[in-house]
Structure 1
Amino acid sequence: MKSDFFTMDGDYSKGIRRSIGVPELDTYFRAEATSCEDKEKLEILFEEGIDRMKSNTYDLARRQFEKINCLRVEKGWNIHLLDATEVFLKRGFQREQEWRWQVAEPSMEIVSSFLYGDKY
């Protein structure tokens, strides 16, 4: 799984290295880059990185939800939930249709309502 973006002296303060998953998998990438022969150790490092990534992603989502909820409750913003889960469960043309029905059209209605003062 050698990564082209990984370097031993990588700067984690900018660019792709700030992405979710990169810092969490740093130990794994470093072991892999030093040609670690111990496949079991690499597997453990990888799994630990994935666990940290899941935990950090959950924490990020929770903080984002709290901020959005604050805008809704404290600021009185009219926030709409668009659930795109079904889009990712489909393939091909069905995915395109699901995107249009579940995300694109409702989004356009909400924006139109906001801009032109309809029911939303």
Structure 2
Amino acid sequence: MTINPGKVDLVMANLVSAEFSSNYGPFAEKRGAAYYETEGGALVKNPHYPDASPVRYCDPTEVPELGIEKGTGLYDLIGRPRSVAFLNHPEQFMEIFAGVTGGCLPML
């Protein structure tokens, strides 16, 4: 889930498996995501998620074993099948990702 609190358009992309499809049913059933951001920037918990995890802020994480490093663009991964193979076969990369935490900090 991504929220753009800025006043300018957010440019972003997601890497997803070719076998992936979006399922927005739970969002419709629970009237949105687990948290809403108000105009003032405060995050408010959606009461339809009584067991929602706390919000975390995460820094980008490098995974040099797969060629995923700062400065590497998404298009740079074309022609590097190993760099994106984890999307379809994550079980083959558990050891590599076991130590990846993304520098996440809980929201205070």
TM-score past 0.5 threshold? no
Bigger proportion of residues as strand: 2
Q: TM-score, normalised by structure 1?
A: 0.19
Q: TM-score, normalised by structure 2?
A: 0.21
Bigger proportion of residues as helix: 1
- Which protein shows a greater Rg? 1
